[in-house]
């Protein structure tokens, strides 16, 4: 199988993107990636992340790129970004919030469009939004309580999240208590 075909097959599950680490696991070294990029077979999206140019674009592309930019396999969209994606709050985050493991450190100089959070998430806390790893709504609300998101936006997320069936009554009550404790 050609390198291009291997990349296409893998990138199909990631909105057309693949990291150099993922390519290496497919048996494609950095030299081959560079050659494919020079030929225009793939495009360099950002350091260590490539996109197949013929792959169809979607609204979730920028979100997948945000997660892959970290090059952390456990990375997931989180906090205010997750609330916005689930449409349970009128929040309008100014950055893409991404959570990675506590022990991981990023070595990227420019993280301006991203707010990186360090937390060891359990696999039960991570779901999917349009094929992009995203913390589940109850986890996002809890993160926003700790982060300091305005109370009215969290209350809105609690109500809408419950009405839409994204959180249970028990989760709503538990998170409301946590919010009340935060606000004193």
- CA distances (Å), 147 to each of 4, 135, 152, in order? 42, 15, 14
127-166 residue pLDDT tens: 999 999 999 999 999 999 999 999 999 999 999 999 999 9
| Average pLDDT of the chain to the nearest whole number | 93
Confidence (pLDDT) at 110: 65
The span from the CA of 36 to the CA of 135, in Å, is: 34
pTM comes to 0.91
What's residue 173's pLDDT?
A: 98
Q: What is the pLDDT of residue 109?
A: 61
What are the φ/ψ torsions at residue 125 (nearest 5 degrees)? -90, -10
Nearest 5 degrees, angle CA 98-CA 14-CA 67?
10
**What is the C-alpha separation between 63 and 33, in angstroms, rounded?**
23
Domain ranges of the chain: 3-51, 73-183
């Amino acid at each position: 199988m050609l390198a291009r075909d291997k990349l296409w097959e893998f990138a199909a599950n990631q909105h057309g993107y693949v990291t150099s680490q993922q390519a290496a696991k497919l048996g494609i070294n950095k030299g081959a990636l560079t050659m494919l990029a020079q030929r225009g077979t793939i495009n360099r999206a950002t350091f260590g992340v490539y996109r197949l140019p013929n792959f169809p674009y979607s609204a979730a592309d920028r979100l997948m790129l945000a997660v892959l930019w970290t090059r952390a396999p456990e990375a997931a969209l989180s906090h205010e970004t997750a609330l916005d994606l689930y449409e349970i709050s009128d929040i309008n985050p100014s950055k893409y919030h991404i959570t990675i493991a506590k022990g991981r450190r990023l070595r990227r100089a420019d993280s301006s469009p991203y707010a990186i959070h360090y937390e060891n998430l359990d696999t039960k806390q991570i779901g999917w939004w349009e094929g992009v790893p995203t913390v589940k709504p109850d986890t996002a609300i809890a993160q926003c309580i700790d982060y300091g998101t305005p109370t009215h936006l969290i209350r809105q997320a609690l109500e809408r999240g419950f009405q839409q069936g994204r959180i249970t009554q028990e989760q709503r009550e538990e998170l409301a208590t946590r919010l009340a404790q935060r606000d004193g």
